[in-house]
Structure 1
């Protein structure tokens, strides 16, 4: 007899996540009102991640070991290919979900004929404080997430209502019909491109104002710095996105704002590099070619860099002058989301 497919496939990309992976898996298995499977994709961890997963001995949990490190996008894609559930839920290896999250979101999707659902987010700080990321009243007013609103919230240097933080669930049938997968060539912003592509394909995305996903801020998060190559990769990914999709007037206007912000961010990072190396000639050249980069020097560089990073990185403690975040599924090979 053919085994019934689960309602939800949780995909967890893991890299050196031995300290947190059990907590994440347990929260996924604790879902009420839905049948789940949990696919843990180990991206060549050097710690005991695989051993921790294998100790669970739960038939609902599957462990996939990648032969080579593929980064967060590649690891998640391996999980998507193995998934059998009607819905796909991405869960980071050090975060958790509330027990009612998936039943609530799937119920909302069913009643609204949506193929994508996003919800609010809780942030658990080191001191135990729980903070809600988005005011519920704001999400109540929106109810749906359009492509224009999503792109507009991901304009760099803008820190309010950045919907790039949201962790959507996708109908697996919709992803497969449109051949949607995470971009493996970029190590930052792969989340952004997937959701933007789904919306560009006409996916209806509804918003659950309540919070079901919890970001856990933890001590010793892996640091990383936003570098010029990351901005270059994001600009390339955006160009490829625009080549594949035709945007309506509102979404295109927001994309132009985002394009300008990426160019401005690139110039600002170059300006910072020249200032750090005390290259007056280099700084002058950047200022002349992109004078808008100068205006960000009105506040301390470290503060401006943190604001620059905010739309494409999650809220984690900084351990360098640039906002520092732990990657989605690992350390140096894994530069996390957007």
Structure 2
């Protein structure tokens, strides 16, 4: 209702007949867009005045098709935290390559998770390369589009100033990672590898990301088995991929040992 209250030449509301997920909603916006640049704003986030002007100016001065900036983290209780990325880190990047971006999306391992970046894209570049969001993904759809744009030769520049306010919500999709999300991400990565060319550095980063997704899937399987009180399945999963237990930390390993001991007692050993 608030959006519809604006004049149609300023705000255009696109209503979907069915829930197509975040990727579907974004694709509908891409198809309806007519401007030179595309920017995505999640419903619970905000942007600072002048953000787009600064990013577009930086991108166009460098003949770039993509631009990113820093994010302000706002907790659920309204407390404003530090910037998501140290300014010195973004100033040092200046540009983001495909290898750098993939390396910044190694699950649970990247020092700075570049998947949280909120890029703007040159609309003509997206259309010319037929780039759209993967509607099968509920988490990771932004990563696949961004990586695809870089793989197609898109140049990404970095604006180190804060322009986007990222609000943490405990129940938001991006904060609740489940096994089916990771499995979908692995399938999407497999398709990406088949449809995009990567240099040696990007391939190495891609392999690291693949291993991290495998360990994440094993860890989440462990969690499911523990919650379901299925000790045999939990132990079998841990034995098949012990790196997942080591990587995800000691608390899960301790719980598995306790479950194994309880199972041994129950079995009369």
Aligned residue in 2 for 1:54: 4
Say if 1:257 and 1:197 are closer, same or farther in 2 by CA, change over 3 A: same
Q: Equivalent of 1:88, from 38, 43, 57?
A: 38
Aligned residue in 1 for 2:56: 106
Deviation, 1:130, is 4.1
Aligned residue in 2 for 1:309: none
Per-residue deviation, residues 146-202 of structure 1 (Å, max 9, x unmatched): 111110111111252111100000000100010000011111100000000000001
Q: Is the 8 A contact 2:45 2:167 kept in 1?
A: yes
Distance in 2, matches of 1:222 and 1:95, equals 12
Say if 1:107 and 1:222 are closer, same or farther in 2 by CA, change over 3 A: closer
Decide which structure has greater helix share.
2
Give the gaps of 5 or more residues in structure 2: 253-269
The answer to whether the aligner puts 1:274 opposite 2:229 as a matched pair is no
Deviation, 1:221, is 4.7
Q: Equivalent of 2:181, from 226, 230, 249?
A: 230
**Scaled by the length of structure 2, what TM-score is found?**
0.88
Say if 1:222 and 1:82 are closer, same or farther in 2 by CA, change over 3 A: same
Larger radius of gyration: 2
Aligned residue in 1 for 2:21: 71
Aligned residue in 2 for 1:208: 159
SS at structure 2 position matched to 1:251:
helix
Aligned residue in 2 for 1:146: 97
Deviation, 1:241, is 0.5
SS at structure 1 position matched to 2:67:
strand
Aligned residue in 2 for 1:327: none
Distance in 2, matches of 1:91 and 1:245, equals 27
Q: Equivalent of 1:176, from 123, 127, 132?
A: 127
Once the two structures are superposed, the pairs formed by residues 234-245 of structure 1 within 5 Å of their partners are 234-245=185-196
Distance in 2, matches of 1:178 and 1:297, equals 38
Distance in 2, matches of 1:221 and 1:105, equals 30
Per-residue deviation, residues 11-40 of structure 1 (Å, max 9, x unmatched): xxxxxxxxxxxxxxxxxxxxxxxxxxxxxx
Deviation, 1:53, is 1.7
Deviation, 1:210, is 0.6
Q: Equivalent of 1:186, from 122, 137, 140?
A: 137
**Number of paired residues?**
251
Say if 1:175 and 1:157 are closer, same or farther in 2 by CA, change over 3 A: same
Deviation, 1:222, is 4.7
Deviation, 1:294, is 2.4
The answer to whether the aligner puts 1:199 opposite 2:156 as a matched pair is no
Q: Equivalent of 2:85, from 123, 134, 138?
A: 134
- Report which stretch shifted further, 124-133 or 88-97: 124-133
SS at structure 2 position matched to 1:99:
coil
- Report which stretch shifted further, 223-232 or 111-120: 223-232
Deviation, 1:228, is 1.4
Say if 1:280 and 1:189 are closer, same or farther in 2 by CA, change over 3 A: same
SS at structure 2 position matched to 1:118:
strand
Per-residue deviation, residues 73-130 of structure 1 (Å, max 9, x unmatched): 1111111111010000111112111111111111111111100001111112324324
Distance in 1, matches of 2:32 and 2:124, equals 13
